[in-house]
Each structure stands twice: as structure tokens, then as C-alpha cells.
């Protein structure tokens, strides 16, 4: 049986390539959590990418009260099931903040204007005008 040998330059090239792969993998950053940044006049900017632990859904018939020291940032409003010709309301403490009407049949969630944030103690809820039980609000929690 013939002995196996490794060419020196092949071994160095392989080790260098392995080092580059490990360096590239180590450079990938895990997104940090979204954070509140005060601007002025009581306005805030929420920066960063929310972690999966911050993301949440508020389903119709199951209101959510924003905990103390938190803000709820709204990212979506729509239906859990694709039903054409519906509308969904976003409510803070029972008051309608936004109504999304869906009739195109393309997506069950609508575009939300930026800046809809519920402060601590606010009851966030959703409903379907005319009845129904499938409206959903998407969002995430950040420190107040």
C-alpha cells in the first residue's frame, strides 16, 4: 500500500481557507434588540431590530395591556385568515387609532404608517367591523 502524503502548499491553502471561513462566520452579527431613543417634545424614535422575544400578536377578543416601563410598537394590522372584503380596527383604550380596509386579495396584512406606539398602561385591542373574530395586531415591546 502506498503511503498518503499531503502537499505543503495544499495544506497551507486549506488552513487559510478554513481561517477565512471562521473569520466570516464570526463577523456575522446577531441583531440587537430594538430600543427607544428620546428625540424632543415627548417624541421617541425606536431604533434597532426587535428580537423574537420582543415580537407579539394581539388577537381579536384578547386585549393586551402594555406593561409598566414598556412601549408597544405597532408593525401590522390585518386578519389571521385571508378573507377578501374585510376591515380591521386598531384600538388603544377602546378608541380607534387606525382602520385597515382590505379588498385586493393580495395580503392579509396592511401597511402601517410609522410611529404608532402605545405607552405603558394602554389597552391594545383589535376588532373586525361588522363582526368576526380574526383581526390581529402585530408589534413588539421596547423599554420605555
Residue pLDDT, tens place only, 85-144: 677 889 999 998 888 776 654 455 556 777 788 999 999 999 887 666 688 888 998 887
- DSSP structure class, residue 82: -
> Where are the strands (E) in 4-122, listed by range?
35-38, 44-47, 55-59, 64-65, 70-79, 86-92, 95-102, 109-110, 117-118
Per DSSP, the three-state class of 12 is helix
- The answer to whether 72 touches 138, Cβ cutoff 8 Å, is no
Cα separation, 53 vs 140, whole angstroms: 9
Give the contacts of 49 (CB within 8 A, at least 6 positions apart).
31, 32, 33, 34
- To the question of pTM greater than 0.85 for the whole model, the response is no
Q: How far, in Å, CA of 79 to CA of 104, rounded?
A: 13
Q: Cell triple for residue 88? A: 380591521
- The grid coordinates listed for 18 are 478554513
Q: Is 142 helix (H, G, I), strand (E, B) or coil?
A: strand
Q: Which residue has the higher pLDDT, 104 or 6?
A: 6
The pLDDT of residue 78: 79
Residue 19 has phi, psi (to 5 degrees) of -60, -40
Residue range 25-72, pLDDT digits in tens: 555 444 445 555 555 555 666 667 777 778 899 998 899 999 999 889
What does the pLDDT read at residue 31? 45
SS3 category, 32: coil
* All domains of the chain in start order, with CATH: 35-143 (2.60.120.340)
Amino acid at each position: 500500500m502506498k503511503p498518503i502524503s499531503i502537499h505543503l502548499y495544499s495544506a497551507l491553502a486549506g488552513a487559510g481557507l478554513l481561517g477565512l471561513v471562521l473569520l466570516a462566520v464570526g463577523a456575522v452579527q446577531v441583531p440587537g434588540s430594538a430600543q427607544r431613543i428620546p428625540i424632543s417634545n415627548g417624541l421617541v424614535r425606536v431604533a434597532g431590530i426587535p428580537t423574537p422575544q420582543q415580537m407579539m400578536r394581539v388577537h381579536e377578543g384578547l386585549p393586551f395591556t402594555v406593561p409598566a416601563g414598556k412601549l408597544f410598537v405597532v408593525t401590522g394590522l390585518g386578519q389571521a385568515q385571508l378573507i377578501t372584503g374585510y376591515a380591521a380596527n386598531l384600538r388603544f383604550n377602546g378608541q380607534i387609532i387606525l382602520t385597515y380596509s382590505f379588498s385586493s386579495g393580495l395580503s392579509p396584512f396592511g401597511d402601517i404608517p410609522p410611529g404608532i406606539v402605545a405607552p405603558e398602561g394602554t389597552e391594545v385591542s383589535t376588532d373586525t367591523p361588522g363582526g368576526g373574530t380574526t383581526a390581529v395586531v402585530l408589534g413588539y415591546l421596547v423599554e420605555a
